[in-house]
Amino acid sequence: MRQLVLAAIALLIGASSSLAQGHMGTPQEQQACTRDAQRFCRKQLGDDSAVQQCLQQNRQKLSKSCQKVFQSHGM
């Protein structure tokens, strides 16, 4: 389960232009959003793009640290 969440968060972070360059989010960025993904996006955990969309839909409810990850990637 934890690996699925981390993979989902990695895709979330990589969804910005850095994905095309092959870069994933740092472990710190992944950790910043893991709890939010588990809390708000449990049903989507098998679908990385759905997790990203879910987190964006719940952006106002996300932890400050996860919100900062989105902001740092221009999302």
> pLDDT: is 18 or 36 the higher one?
36
Quickly state the pLDDT bin for 52 (edges 50, 70, 90): confident
**Own/partner pairs for 58-65, CB < 8 Å, 24+ apart?**
61/36, 62/33, 62/36, 63/32, 63/33, 63/35, 63/36, 65/32, 65/33
**pLDDT computed for residue 45 by the predictor:** 84
pLDDT higher than threshold 60 for residue 46: yes
Check whether 15 has a pLDDT greater than 70.
no
Domain boundaries defined on the chain: 2-72
| % of residues, the chain, pLDDT over 90 | 37
DSSP code of residue 75: -
